[in-house]
Amino acid sequence: MVAIQTRAEIQALLDQVFDPEIPVLTVTDLGVIRGVDIQPGLIRITLTPTYSGCPAMNTIEQDIRAILASTGCAVEIDTVYAPAWSSDWISDAGREKMRDYGIAPPEKDTHSKKVLMGADPTIECPHCQSTQTKLISEFGSTACKAMYHCDDCLQPFDYFKCI
């Protein structure tokens, strides 16, 4: 007798897998889970990594395997690189959690297009919502983030870079 998990049960487990770099975000918030295929005795997860080469992805994959192992099903993880992950895939709930955590969430695509045109992005301070902020370093606590400083509340903060 092979147990068949429901999608809701699998989702509840995946919601307990957090991004090791931003521990308030689940893999669902990040938008890296592109598919969940449930068959008797087998769960197949389609995963799209965030930043390629981001060491966090190995941890995320291991955590997904570990948590889904509790179902007693075999777990397969297919990593797909196309379409490439975009910071637009971070859920609105995820953006809210990042702000609460003190990280400025990535700008939505209209802004990043402006950035591609050469304009500096306006990054809102996650502490006081001021837009009087400036870039201190392209690399914050990890390569995925840039470090900013707020001229109003004088606090530094990380900005999750758009890609």
Residues that bind Zn ion (CB under 5 A): 125, 127-128, 130, 150, 152-153
CB of 132 to Zn ion, least distance (A): 8
∠ Cα 129 91 148 (to 5°): 35
Kindly tell me which of 33 and 150 has the beta carbon lying closer to Zn ion: 150
The Cα 93–Cα 100 span in angstroms is 11
Enumerate residues 6+ apart whose C-beta is below 8 A from 62.
none
**Residue carrying structure tokens 């797909």:** 80
Decide: 21 and 59 in contact? Cβ < 8 Å: no
CB of 125 to Zn ion, least distance (A): 3
CB of 141 to Zn ion, least distance (A): 18
CB of 103 to Zn ion, least distance (A): 13
DSSP 50: S
Kindly tell me which of 47 and 145 has the beta carbon lying closer to Zn ion: 145
Kindly tell me which of 132 and 141 has the beta carbon lying closer to Zn ion: 132
Kindly tell me which of 31 and 106 has the beta carbon lying closer to Zn ion: 106
